[in-house]
Structure 1
Amino acid sequence: MSISEPQFSLRLARDLRDLQAAQRLRYEVFVEELGGTGPLVDHENRFEADEFDPFFDHLLLIDARRDTPEFPGVVGVYRLLTSEKSAEMGRYYSESEYDLTPLRSSGRRMVELGRSCVHPEYRGGSAMLQLWNGLAEYVLERDIEVMFGVASLHGTDPQAFRQSLSWLHHHHLAPDDLRVTALPPGRLDMNLLPAEALDRRTALSEMPPLIKAYLRLGGFVGEGAFIDRDFNTIDICLIIDTARMSERHRSFYTRKQEPAA
């Protein structure tokens, strides 16, 4: 995978050492920083892991200056599950929170996105853009048509996010053919405020940058949110259909297919 800054490299995890480096960064972010947990979290060795890890591809952003004898210097992670790997696993990660019937019945090539995180020292720089460039290459190489996955608001009090959740419901709800639905018992109605009571600036200020980035790409959200108390989050399901992207955004995912002049 190509990358523009020489101190970074970008690749898929190749072995257990790579995977554990990703799990170590995930532990620092999702467990230590954000207060999450899970049945397979290894607190002794500081690995955030689950039963899906062997089936996902793990996109790694590595800063060689942080390499140690034990692990490569992973400073950014994206977890990617193709339709084929989901068939091996038997389900998608998101299916514990959402009814994915509309996506499953579409017959289109899909990838589920998840566990995206960047080391705190690399936020606000180019790290997330580098990961997005790697994701674009991954999507192109596999002819992916639909990207989806849960993204999180940190905390479990719906009232703290009533503006942003309501804004997503009123302005970014997925069309019927892509509209997945949150499942009980964690299901949360996102229609917390009427459309006329919303303030766009307030709503967007409550959203993490990753969610806003998906929306700028033309992303939609499923019906309802899901309260994940283990991870201390309110999750929404984001869906990006490359066929529905604007021409400007679609070019990000197709420009590398153009022949060289």
Structure 2
Amino acid sequence: MKMDLSRFDVRLATTDEEVRAAQHLRYRVFVEEMGATVPPEDAALKIERDRFDPYFDHLLLIDRAAAEDDPARVIGVYRLLRGAVAKAGPGFYGAGEFDLTPLLELDRETVELGRSCVAQEFRAGSAMLLLWNGVSRYVRDHGIEVMFGTASFPGTDPAPLAEALSHLHHAHLAPPDIRVRAQPDHGIDMNLMPAAQVNAGRAMRATPALIKAYLRLGGFVGEGAYVDHGFNTIDVCLLMDTERMVAKYRDFYSRD
């Protein structure tokens, strides 16, 4: 799909109605498409939300061609929680899946990225790139040095994903100073195959596009994966350190 980029706006939500529109989109993607479960009262409203939403900044991709009062005008979302906000209030969402101690001990500003999704009809265009441009501005404006968040493989059975998960473990494991680890209650080892038996090309073809994109930017993964039965996914923790990023992408995240 070729997108008329002037038709779209990327900015943070400023009203409760805009946050609710983001939650509607998340319901369409995570519940209706991916099979996540939500409480009955949220299903009745067709929204996906949690207790962390009030603390996150919600980055929106807005279709200006849609009516002002149409929730479907929000066609892409990201939610962002700065370390300074998390430490003063709710903590990080990802702490429920990963031991984030290495990040909490950093004397550097961090941001947790999550709930990234784009409406199905816009996924073949530049929607995600537009959202990333918004993230880059956010990172620059807040002096953020480390970005992290969970990203998902569909399904909860690790067996079909053994090669992909093993490749992440052998080729993209985070350095020790930022290496978070999956919580033991639903954590699984990603080292499911010896490195010599992993076909990197085949493994990457089985890896979701969002994870591959972060790896191309110079990202890493934490140790172990987390089986999230509520969202019907297997999650890895992606981490990006601006000091370690490939130079051209570091420039992307710091440019005006």
Q: TM-score, normalised by structure 1?
A: 0.94
Unaligned runs of 5+ in 2: none
Please say if 1:87 is aligned against 2:87: yes
- 1:200 Cα deviation (Å)? 1.3
Aligned match of 1:63: 63
Aligned match of 1:106: 106
State the AA in 1 paired with 2:117. C
Q: Distance in 2 between matches of 1:217 and 1:67?
A: 35
Aligned match of 1:259: none
Contact 2:24 2:71 in 1 (8 A): no
**Deviations 1:163-199, CA, capped at 9 Å, x for gaps:** 1100000000001100001012110000011001111
- 1:127 Cα deviation (Å)? 0.3
- 1:40 Cα deviation (Å)? 7.9
Aligned match of 1:240: 240
Contact 2:150 2:236 in 1 (8 A): yes
Q: TM-score, normalised by structure 2?
A: 0.96
Unaligned runs of 5+ in 1: 257-261
Aligned match of 1:176: 176
Aligned match of 1:17: 17
Q: Distance in 2 between matches of 1:17 and 1:76?
A: 15
Aligned match of 2:46: 46
CA RMSD of aligned residues (A): 1.3
Q: Secondary structure at the match of 1:169?
A: helix
For residues 40 and 92 of structure 1, do their structure 2 counterparts lie closer, same or farther at Cα, with a shift above 3 Å needed?
farther
Aligned match of 1:76: 76
Contact 2:52 2:90 in 1 (8 A): no
Aligned match of 1:29: 29
Aligned match of 1:146: 146
Aligned match of 2:116: 116
State the AA in 2 paired with 1:226. Y
- 1:70 Cα deviation (Å)? 4.7
Contact 2:25 2:72 in 1 (8 A): no
Contact 1:64 1:72 in 2 (8 A): no
Aligned match of 1:160: 160
